[in-house]
Amino acid sequence: MNTTTTDRTAPIGIFDSGVGGLTVLKEILELLPFENFVYFGDVGRTPYGGRSKEIITQFTKQDIAFLNEQKVKFIICACNTASSTALPDICKDYDIEIIGVIEPGAKAAVKQTQNGKIGVIGTNATINSNAYASYMHAIDPKLKVFSLACPLFVPLVEEGYIDKEATYLIARDYLQTMKDVGIDTLVLGCTHYPLLRNVITDIMGDSVRLIDSGEESANESFRRITTTELIHPNGSQVPSPEGDLKYFVSDVPEKFSSVASRFMGREINNIARVDISKY
C-alpha cells in the first residue's frame, strides 16, 4: 500500500453484517477519538452467519466497495463471519489495508493459554471456515483447538435477551462440551458475544479467560494506524478535537438505531440509508 499519498484526514471505515460491529467501533473510538469514522452495517441482509461462502464473499466485496467510495484510508472488517470466510481470499485484491478480526483474536488466545486447550465459538460460517484454528496452529501446531457454532446467541442478543433464564439455558447447553474438554481460554468469535460475557463467565467459571476478538482487532488497528503514516494530524494536538462519526445502513435506519444505541450505550442518530445492491 502506498501510504505516502494517503489523505491522513480521511475516515477509517468499519463494516459488519449489521449492528454487531459497533462493539468494535466502541473499542476503537476509545483509542482513536480524534479520527473520523464511517460505519457500514448491512442490516438489510443480516445475518451472514448461516450463509454460503459464495454469498458472504459477494456481500463482503460490496461492503468494501461502498467504503472505498467513501474514500476511507483504512478498513476494519468487524464481522467474524466475513473475516473468516471471505477476507482471506479477497484481501489481496485491494490497495487499501483491510484488517479482519480473526488473526488478532487468534494471536491473543495463543498468548493467553497455559494448558494449550483453546475454545472458539462463533457463527456456523466462522466455525466451518476453521480460520481461527488455522491461525492458531500456524503459530503452534501442538495446540488443541475446540470449535463450536452457537447460532442462537446472535438473535438472543439482538432481542435483548442478555441475562435471561432462556439465555442461560441455551448457553449452558452449548458450552458444556467446552467445560468437559477443560479449555482455559475461550475466543468470543462473533461480534455479538461480548454482550454475553457475564453469562459465559458464570457458566465457564473465572478460570477460563475470555478473548474478545473485536477488542483485539481494535488494539491491532490502533497499532497499525499509529505506527504508519495514516494517523490523523489532529492526533498530535493536545487536547485533540473529536472526529466525525457517520453511520450507513442497508435498510431503514429506525431498525438499526434502537439496537445500535444498546450496543454503543448512547443515542445513535446520524444514520443514512444506502442501496448496497448498487456496489
- Nearest approach in angstroms of CB 104 to ligand DGL is 14
User: Closer to ligand DGL at the Cβ: 126 or 147?
Assistant: 126
- Nearest approach in angstroms of CB 189 to ligand DGL is 7
- Is 190 a catalytic site residue? yes
The answer to whether 221 and 28 are in contact (CB under 8 A) is yes
Count of residues that bind ligand DGL according to CB under 6 A: 18
Which position among 11, 12, 15, 16 is part of the footprint of ligand DGL (CB under 6 A)? 16
All three cell numbers of 145: 483447538
Catalytically annotated residue among 77, 91, 150, 190: 190
The answer to whether 113 and 185 are in contact (CB under 8 A) is yes
Q: What share of the chain is helix, strand, coil (3-state, %, to 5)?
A: 50, 15, 35
- Nearest approach in angstroms of CB 116 to ligand DGL is 26
> Is residue 20 a contact point for ligand DGL (CB under 6 A)?
yes
Angle at which helices 22-31 and 253-264 cross, to 10°: 50
User: Closer to ligand DGL at the Cβ: 75 or 231?
Assistant: 75
Q: Which of residues 201-240 bind ligand DGL (CB under 6 A)?
A: none
Beta bridge partners of 212: 188
Cα Rg, the chain, nearest whole Å: 18
Check residue 238 and report its DSSP letter.
S
Which position among 11, 13, 41, 49 is part of the footprint of ligand DGL (CB under 6 A)? 49
All three cell numbers of 34: 480524534
Backbone φ and ψ of 148, nearest 5°: -145, 125
> Is residue 48 a contact point for ligand DGL (CB under 6 A)?
yes
Cα 185 to Cα 171: distance, rounded to the nearest angstrom: 16
Contact stretch for ligand DGL (CB under 6 A) within 44-52, 160-168, 196-204, 244-252:
44-52
- Is 77 a catalytic site residue? no
The answer to whether 258 and 21 are in contact (CB under 8 A) is no
Q: Which of residues 104-133 bind ligand DGL (CB under 6 A)?
A: 122-123, 126
Looking at the annotation, which residues are catalytic? Answer: 79, 190
Contact footprint for ligand DGL (CB under 6 A): 16-18, 20, 46-49, 79-81, 122-123, 126, 154, 190-192
